[in-house]
Amino acid sequence: MSTPKTDATAHPSLDELRAEAMAWGRKPRRHGSWYVTEHMVRAMRAYGWTIIVGAVGQPILYLLGLAVGLAALITVPIVDHGQQVTYLMFVAPALLATATISVASEEMTYPVMAGFKWRRYFYGFNASPLSSPQIANGVIAGAAARMLVASAAYYLIVWLLPFGAVPHPETGWIAIFVGVLAGLAFGIPLMAYAGSIEDDKGQFALVQRFIFMPMFLFSGTFYPLATLPGWLQWIGWISPLWHGAELGRVVTYGAPIAPGMIVVHVAYLVVLAGIGYLWGRRVFIERLAK
């Protein structure tokens, strides 16, 4: 003879199921940005070896080429803000900032367009309890994680190789985070631009050719910005690379830059990243609402 079900084995009520579903929905709403970040980082495993080779091999090649090759020809010390330094000491912080900006140009262009157009996974995220700003936050955080790896690898190689590129290691490690800040200042506005593009018609190639490359060549990377003609110096002034390189030189070898200018460099990078974030947030909200 069967026994009646007790309360302990009874099926949950509709109100209990609704409360449980709401609880599960609140969790991704609370931590949604980190879920998107996790996805972006996991997706990088598809080209993980490219990331490793780029983070380790590129700085070694650059430094060997500069330290063993070009620096051997430049026997006269570089005069940076009235201070004489070796050529490698001068160029190493700028190459570190260049590495993170290069990562930003990769992670904030085609992956963003893929999320909106080709693979459309941003729309899948948005169909869940994740909000549009959380998706934008996750894209930024995922790219920042790769920038941090590249910046840290670059700094360790610069510091450990016997070239004397970091005479002040007690503060030189701060260059890692300076590089990430420079990468975000360039990458977040680029993410907003990439999100606003409906079709790929070669816009990203134009960014590489007419924005990234001139910035790399004319932002005081290989020689002090003051040595350029005045009509070219404005490229460095508006470039996050120059501001990041100048801050990196302060922490790696104590470049005698006035405290007021240090504040200007930091503020410029933060404001550029902030403006890009507000623009990118609006782009994600508008496109995912369609």
pLDDT in tens, 68-109: 676 666 667 788 888 999 888 999 999 999 999 999 999 999
Q: What is the mean pLDDT of residues 242-265?
A: 97
d(CA 145, CA 243): 21
Residue 205, beta-bridge partner list: none
Question: Is 124 part of a structural domain of the chain?
Answer: yes
Task: Supply the pLDDT for residue 116.
Answer: 95
pLDDT for 1 beyond 50:
no
243: Cα separation from own chain's centroid = 15
Task: Supply the pLDDT for residue 22.
Answer: 59
Q: Number of folded domains in the chain? A: 1
Question: Is 61 part of a structural domain of the chain?
Answer: yes
Task: Supply the pLDDT for residue 27.
Answer: 61
Q: Which residues contact 167 (CB under 8 A, 6 or more apart)?
A: 89, 252, 253, 254
Question: Is 12 part of a structural domain of the chain?
Answer: no
Question: Is 175 part of a structural domain of the chain?
Answer: yes
DSSP per-residue string spanning 100-169: HHHHHHHHTSHHHHIIIIIS-HHHHHHHTT--HHHHHHHHHHHHHHHHHHHHHHHHHHHHHSTT---S-H
Question: Is 19 part of a structural domain of the chain?
Answer: no
Question: Is 20 part of a structural domain of the chain?
Answer: no
d(CA 184, CA 259): 23
The residue with greater pLDDT, 61 or 178, is 178
Question: Are the CB atoms for 120 and 202 separated by under 8 Å?
Answer: no
Question: Are the CB atoms for 147 and 180 separated by under 8 Å?
Answer: yes
* Spatial CA neighbour of 104 closest among 269, 278, 251: 269
Domain containing residue 269 = 35-288
pLDDT for 15 beyond 80:
no
Question: Is 26 part of a structural domain of the chain?
Answer: no
Task: Supply the pLDDT for residue 61.
Answer: 78
Tokens of 205: 């190639």
pLDDT digits (tens, 9 = 90+) for 157-215: 889 877 788 999 999 999 999 999 999 999 999 999 999 999 888 999 999 999 999 99
Question: Are the CB atoms for 142 and 41 separated by under 8 Å?
Answer: yes
Q: What is the CA radius of gyration of the chain?
A: 24
Q: What is the mean pLDDT of residues 44-65?
A: 76
Q: What is the mean pLDDT of residues 241-258?
A: 96
Chain-wide mean pLDDT for the chain? 88
Question: Is 3 part of a structural domain of the chain?
Answer: no
pLDDT > 70 fraction of the chain, expressed in percent and rounded? 87
Q: What is the mean pLDDT of residues 3-32?
A: 63
pLDDT band at 257 (very low <50, low <70, confident <90, very high): very high
Tokens of 143: 């790219």
pLDDT for 10 beyond 90:
no
pLDDT band at 17 (very low <50, low <70, confident <90, very high): low
pLDDT for 41 beyond 80:
yes
Q: What is the mean pLDDT of residues 24-45?
A: 81
Task: Supply the pLDDT for residue 88.
Answer: 86
The residue with greater pLDDT, 116 or 48, is 116
